Structures are given as structure tokens and as C-alpha cells.
Amino acid sequence: MGPDMATAMLGEDGIHIDMNHLKKGEVNLGTSIMAINFKDGVILGADSRTTTGAYIANRVTDKLTQVHDTIWCCRSGSAADTQAVADIVSYHLGLYGVMNGQDGPTTQTAAALFQELCYENKDQLSAGMIIAGYDKRHGGSVYSIPLGGSLHKQSYAIGGSGSTYIYGYCDANWKEHMTEEEGIKFVKGALGEAIKWDGSSGGVIRMVVLTNRGHERHLYLPDNGYTGPGRARPATT
């Protein structure tokens, strides 16, 4: 397969997936990530496993990345690619925030920047991202940018290799306008199943809750069956 081809292509005899699209030894986020809308904003969630082939390079990775005060993203695919994209978006949003004073960037602005980068460089990148954020004008919003660089606004989004195992779980348990507790329970339940079934997902469950209070991190450890410790840091405004 030529270097300019995407990781999956449709031939006469079906879809062919290039299993070796990563460079030898490249660090991969074989991952379970998701983000949901709830009553007061959004919740992002992710497992914490990073792999290099079969080797777990990091068991406590943070795949939830801040790109502005209350705009975050979940990263899946190549760790290097997604970090680079998030860094570029973070730079643009920072500049936008400084230049426009009080009305900082919205989640829409961030999603547009992510999409442009992912689409224009689709041949080079292996990045599947979920953008979720809270702003006063729009409230919470969740965007999914899968491999080709398309942009989907969704009620909730799941991604990464582990997501294939939880489409049924999410469809059966999803409801709109959940409370914060219900939302956390939904994300934890879904990611718990993804980690259970997906070999390349595992470790701890991390979450970020974005509301008008700012951002709050949550952490759930496998040692106690993902029951705690829960909220990790006090709210920042």
C-alpha cells in the first residue's frame, strides 16, 4: 500500500484494512474514549492504556487533553499525531481568547480548527478525536472527528478500538438530559465494558466534567472495581 493511502480502502472484494499503518515501534492509543452531553454540560471519559504493539508503554496515560479553559478533547490513534494536533489547536484557541477578550472561543471554534487540521492532513495523520466543551453561549457540545476528518455533532460520542464493544451498551442505556451522577455512571459503565472486552484498553478510568463551574477531574481505579476515588481536584473557574 502506497504511503498516500488511507488506512482502510474499499477493493472489489471488500474492505481492506492496513494493520501495519503505524510505523514500527510507533506509540498507539488502542483506546476507549467517549464524551457525553448532560443536564449542566459535558463529561469526557477515557481509559489509560498506551501500547507499542503488544507492550503496554504506559498504564496510566491521560488521554483527556485541555485545549482551552472548558474545551477539551479525547485522543485516539497515534499518540504523537494527536498530541501535535491538540497542541496546534491549543495555540490557536489561546490566541483567539487573548484577542477577543471576554468572549473566548466556543466549542464550535475548536471543532472547526480540529477538523481543518485532521481533514487537510488526512494522508499523514492517524488521529480519531472527540471534542467536547462548555461555553456560556451554547452550553455543552460534543463533536466527533473520525479518521477521514469529517465533523459530527452528537448527543454523545464514543471512539477508539474499545468503542466497538459498547455500541449496544450505550444505545440501551443512553438518555438525554441526565444528571451529573447519572452521566458519570453511564460513562463509567460503558468504559468498564470496553476495558473488559478490548485487549488494547485498560488501566484506570479518567473523566473530566465541564460545566459553568469550570472543569473537574475524576479518577476511578481498577483496584476497587472502578468505584473511586472519584472527583480528584476541586473546581476551578
Partner 1 sequence: MTSIGTGYDLSNSVFSPDGRNFQVEYAVKAVESGGTCIGIRTKHGVVLACEKIISSKLLKPGCNKRISTVDRSAGIVTSGLLPDGRHLTSRGRDEASSWRQTYKAPIPLSSLASRLGGYVQAYTLYSSVRPFGVTAILGGWDSEAESGVDGQVGNGPAAGAGGKVDDPSVKRGGPALYMIEPSGLYWGYYGAATGKGRQAAKAELEKLDLNSPDCALSLKDAVLEAARIIYVAHEDSKDKEFELELTWISALDGPTKGRHEHVPKELLEEAEKHAKKSLEGDDEDEDDDEMEE
Known catalytic residues are: 31
Q: Which of 152, 185, 196, 233 binds partner 1 (CB under 8 A)?
A: 152
Q: Which of 24, 55, 98, 137 binds partner 1 (CB under 8 A)?
A: 137
Instruction: State which residue, 139 or 222, has the beta carbon closest to partner 1.
Output: 139
Binding region for partner 1 (CB under 8 A) out of 4-12, 129-137, 214-222, 224-232? 129-137
Grid coordinates belonging to 58: 504506559
User: Which residue in this structure is represented by grid cell 467536547?
Assistant: 132
Three-state SS for 54-74 is CEEEECCCCCEEEEECCEEEE
Q: Strand, helix or coil at 6?
A: coil
Q: Strand, helix or coil at 94?
A: helix
Q: Which of 22, 74, 142, 166 binds partner 1 (CB under 8 A)?
A: 142
Binding region for partner 1 (CB under 8 A) out of 5-13, 48-56, 133-141, 161-169? 133-141
Residues making up the chain, counted from first to last = 237
153 binds partner 1 (CB under 8 A): yes
Q: Which of 77, 104, 128, 140 binds partner 1 (CB under 8 A)?
A: 140
Q: How far apart are CA 92 and CA 70, in angstroms?
A: 15
127 binds partner 1 (CB under 8 A): no
42 binds partner 1 (CB under 8 A): yes
109 binds partner 1 (CB under 8 A): yes
What are φ and ψ of residue 224, in 5° steps? -115, 30
Using alpha carbons only, give the angle 182, 138, 125 rounded to the nearest 5 degrees: 85
Please give the single-letter amino acid code of residue 14. Answer: G
Residues at the contact surface with partner 1, assessed by CB under 8 A? 37-42, 99-100, 102-103, 108-109, 111-113, 115-116, 134, 136-143, 150-155, 176-177, 211-212
